[in-house]
A and B are shown apart, each in its own frame.
Chain A
Amino acid sequence: MTSRPLPQDPMIRALIAQARRAQVNRRTMLAGAGAGATALALAACSTGGAAAKPTPAADKSDTDKTLNWANWAAYIDEDDNGNYPTLVQFEKETGIKVNYEVAVDDNNTYYGKVKDQLALGQDIGADTVCLTDWMIARWIRFGYGQKLNHDNIPNLANLTPSLENPDFDPGREYSVPWQGGFAGICWNTEKVPGGLESVDDLWNPDLKGRVGVLSEMRDTIGLIMLQNGVDISGDWGDDEFTTANDILAKQVEDGQVRNIKGNSYLEDLKNEDTLAAICWSGDITVLNAEAGDKWQFAIPSAGGTIWNDNFIVPIGSPRKTNAETLINYYYEPEVAAEVAAWVNYITPVVGAKEAAIAIDPALADNQLIFPDEQTLSQTSIFRTLTPAEEQKYQAEFQRILLGS
C-alpha cells in the first residue's frame, strides 16, 4: 500500500494530524501508563501457587436460616412431584430453608470448579457437599473443610463404628458419611437376557460398542484390578495399575467401550447407547423406578469396590451450624431409613435397619442397603494413594479418556 499525499486543504490536514496524534496517544498510553505492570500485578495475585491455608468464614447461621447443599444425582429421596420428602420435613422442623442442588457429576470436575474459591477461603455457593473418601482426604489435607462442632451433631453417636476413624479423618472432625455404595456391573435385562457375571463379560464381542465405564478411576480400574486378582486394599504398585489400565485402553481402542462418564452414564443406559456398564449400586434401583424395570446390578464374581461419600462443610461457608443441624437430622435412624429405602445405598446410620423394617420388612434383606458379612467380604476399598501416585495414575487413566 502506498500512502497517498496529504490533501492541500489546511483544515483537513489538521484533522488528519490530530487523528494521527490520537493514535500515538493511545499507543503510548497502553504501553507507557503502567498498563503492563498493572496487568502483571493483577495476574500474579490471580493464580497463586502453594498459598497459606484459608481461614473459615464467620458463621451467621443464627440470622441466616438457609442452607445450600450440593450432591450427586439420584442421591436423596424424591417424590413424583420432584420434592424431597425428608428435606421438606427438615425445613418444617427447623425453619432452615434448604437449596438442594444436583451439582456433582464427578469428584474431579466438581473440585476443578470450586478449588480456586476454596483456596481463597471464599463461599463456593454450597454450605455442605457430599464427596467421596479420597477427595475428602484431599480437602482436609489442603485445609478446605471446616472443623465440625460435634456438640451440634449429637446423633453422630449413631455412626457405624467401622466408619468412625478413617485414615484421612480420625475421629470424624471434618467429615461425616452420607451414603456408601458398591461399584459393580449392570446390564439391560431385555437386551442382555443372559446377564453378566464378571468384568471380563463386559469385553464379550456381542456387546461391542455398547459398554460404558465410569470416569471414576478408582472404581473402573479397581474392578479390572480385582478381576486380575489384585487385592486393591493391599500393597500393590505401578505394575498392577498399568496392567489394568492397559486392558481398559485396549477395549476403548477396539471400540468395545462406547463411553467413559461420570454420573451421566445413566443417560446412556436409558437411551440404550450402552447395554452393560460399570456402575454404582443404588443408581440402578433408582433407574429402574424411573424408566421401567429393565436393569440389574451385580457385584462381579471377582469382587467389587466399596466407597463412602461424606458431608464436608467448605471453608468459605458462613452457615456451618445450619449444615451441622442438617447432618444431625439425617443421622436420625428413621430419616436415614427413609433415604436409604429410596436411594438404595448403604446407610452409615446404626438403627436405620430396624427403622427400615418398620417401613417395609423386605428392605432388611436388601444387600445394597444393609449388606451382610458375606456381601461385604466380596468388596474391597481402593487403597489410599500418595499425591505422587495420584497424579501419575490419573494421568495414565486420562490418557484413555482422551484417546489419541
Chain B
Amino acid sequence: MAFAAFATSEAQPEAPKKKSRVAFFLLLPGILYLILFFLTPLISLILTSLQQPAEFGDVGEYEYAFNWQNYVVVIQDYLPHILRSFGYALVATVFALLFSYPIAYFIGVKARRWPLLQSLMLVLVIAPFFISFLLRTLAWKQILSDESLIITSLKALSLLAPDAHFTGTPFAVIFGLTYNFIPFMTLPLYTALERLDTRYLEAGSDLYANPFTVFRKITIPLSMPGIVAGTLLTFIPAAGDYVNASRDFLGGPDTQMMGNVIEANFLVLLNYPAAAALSIILMAAILVLVGIYVKRSGTEELL
C-alpha cells in the first residue's frame, strides 16, 4: 500500500527517471556495438549456415534457403573432429590446472612474505604474452622437430622409439594447447588464492585435520571461483583453437580440430554453409557444456 502511494507521488520519481535516460545514453554505445559486431554477424552466420548451393553456380556460390540438412551433413562428416576438439581441450585444461595450481599457490600464498619475488614470478607468468603466440608456437615446432636436441636425446636414451616423432601428433597439439593457455589458468587461480585467509588453514590443523584434508576441505573450496574462471578461460578458447592443431604448426593430418575443419571449409573448399553450421554447433556445444559445468560447480554468480 505504502509502496503504491509512493509510486504515484509527484516529486520523487522525476529524478530517477532522468537518471534512467542517462543510463540509456551511457548504454547506447555498448548496445550499438553489440548489435553491430555480435548480433549482426551471428544472424549472418545462422543465415549462411542454412544456404544451399546456387543452381548451376560456380565454386563458392550459394543462395539463401532453409537447408537445415547442412547441420546433419557436417555432423556426419566431421563427428571425429568435433569429439577430438572437446577431448583435446579437456585434457589440455586438466593439465593446465595441474601445472598452474602449484604455481599460483606458491605465488599467491607461499610468496606473500616476499612481495618482490611475488611480483617477479607474476611477471614471469605474463612474460610469454610479450611475444606473439604464433611465434611461440612456431618456436616449439622447431624445438621439438625430429632432429632437435630434445628429440634426438630422448631417442638416444631409448625413451622414444627410433622412428617416433613428436610434431604432428596428438601429444604435440595437447602440449601446445596446454602451454599456450597456462597463463589464462594461472592468473585467475592466483587472484583467488591471493585472498585466501591462511588463518583458516591454521584453524583446520588446530582441529587435527591433516594437510591433505585441509587442502581438500578449505583451500580448494575457497579457490573454487579461480578454478572455475581458469578452466573456462582455458577450455573455451582451446576447444575452438585452430593454430596449435594446424598442419603449419604442431598438428598433422590426423590431429585436425574443429577450428581447422571450419578453416578448411571456409578458405579452401569455399563451403560457407558447412563452415557456418560447424561454427554454430561449436558455439552451442560450448554454451551447453559451460552451462552444465557452472551449474554443477555451483558458482552461477561468476557469470
Q: Write the chain B residue with the least CB distance to A41.
A: B40
Contact A272 B146 (CB under 8 A): yes
Contact A208 B44 (CB under 8 A): no
A163 within 8 A of B: no
B47 within 8 A of A: yes
Contact B20 A25 (CB under 8 A): yes
Contact B247 A261 (CB under 8 A): yes
Contact A402 B264 (CB under 8 A): yes
The interface stretch among A227-235, A362-370, A376-384, A390-398 is A390-398
Choice from A14, A35, A112 contacting B267 with Cβ under 8 Å: A112
- For the complex, give the distance between the alpha carbons of A43 and B51 in Å: 14
Contact B253 A401 (CB under 8 A): yes
The interface stretch among A15-23, A64-72, A305-313, A319-327 is A15-23
B81 within 8 A of A: yes
Q: Contact flags (1/0) for B22-40 with A, using CB distance below 8 Å?
A: 0110010001000110011
Residues from chain A with a CB closer than 8 A to the CB of B64 are 49
Central interface residue in B6, B47, B48, B60, by most chain A CB within 10 Å: B60
A47 within 8 A of B: yes
A81 within 8 A of B: no
The interface stretch among B95-103, B126-134, B161-169 is B161-169
CB distance from A365 to the nearest CB of B (A): 34
Q: Contact flags (1/0) for A136-150 with B, using CB distance below 8 Å?
A: 001001100000000
Residues from chain B with a CB closer than 8 A to the CB of A30 are 31
CB distance from B29 to the nearest CB of A (A): 14
Q: Write the chain A residue with the least CB distance to B27.
A: A26
Residues from chain A with a CB closer than 8 A to the CB of B163 are 208-209
Contact A273 B146 (CB under 8 A): yes
B175 within 8 A of A: no
A276 within 8 A of B: no
The interface stretch among A153-161, A252-260, A332-340, A345-353 is A252-260
Contact B253 A49 (CB under 8 A): no
- For the complex, give the distance between the alpha carbons of A40 and B43 in Å: 7
Contact A113 B58 (CB under 8 A): no
- For the complex, give the distance between the alpha carbons of A21 and B20 in Å: 9
Main DSSP-derived SS at the B contact region: helix
B80 within 8 A of A: yes
A162 within 8 A of B: no
- For the complex, give the distance between the alpha carbons of A237 and B215 in Å: 67
Contact A113 B253 (CB under 8 A): no
Residues from chain A with a CB closer than 8 A to the CB of B253 are 252, 257, 259-260, 400-403
Contact A109 B267 (CB under 8 A): yes
Residues from chain B with a CB closer than 8 A to the CB of A264 are 248
Within 8 A of A (CB), among B40-84: 40-41, 43-44, 47-48, 51, 54, 57-64, 78, 80-81
Q: Contact flags (1/0) for B233-275 with A, using CB distance below 8 Å?
A: 0000000000000011000111110001100101111111000
Within 8 A of B (CB), among A7-40: 8, 10, 13-15, 17-18, 21-22, 25-26, 29-30, 35-36, 38-40
Residues from chain A with a CB closer than 8 A to the CB of B6 are 10, 13-14
Residues from chain B with a CB closer than 8 A to the CB of A13 are 2-3, 6
- For the complex, give the distance between the alpha carbons of A138 and B57 in Å: 13
A291 within 8 A of B: no
- For the complex, give the distance between the alpha carbons of A200 and B167 in Å: 24
Within 8 A of B (CB), among A41-65: 42-44, 46-47, 49-50
- For the complex, give the distance between the alpha carbons of A6 and B1 in Å: 12
Residues from chain B with a CB closer than 8 A to the CB of A112 are 266-268, 270
Residues from chain A with a CB closer than 8 A to the CB of B147 are 271-273
Central interface residue in B13, B41, B43, B167, by most chain A CB within 10 Å: B43
Residues from chain B with a CB closer than 8 A to the CB of A36 are 39, 43
Give 29 CB contacts A-B under 8 Å.
A14-B13, A15-B16, A17-B3, A17-B7, A21-B20, A43-B43, A43-B44, A43-B47, A44-B47, A49-B64, A109-B268, A112-B267, A112-B268, A115-B270, A209-B163, A258-B165, A259-B252, A259-B253, A260-B253, A261-B247, A261-B248, A271-B141, A271-B147, A271-B148, A273-B146, A387-B57, A390-B59, A391-B270, A402-B253
A38-B35, A253-B254 known, 9 other contacts, Cβ within 8 Å = A8-B2, A18-B20, A29-B31, A39-B39, A39-B40, A50-B63, A109-B268, A259-B252, A264-B248
Q: Could you tell me which A residues sit within 8 Å of B by CB distance?
A: 6, 8, 10, 13-15, 17-18, 21-22, 25-26, 29-30, 35-36, 38-40, 42-44, 46-47, 49-50, 106, 108-109, 111-113, 115, 138, 141-142, 208-210, 215, 252-253, 257-262, 264, 267, 271-273, 387, 390-391, 394-395, 398, 400-404
Going nearest first, the 7 A-B pairs with the smallest beta carbon separation are: A112-B267, A43-B44, A271-B145, A403-B254, A272-B147, A108-B268, A43-B43
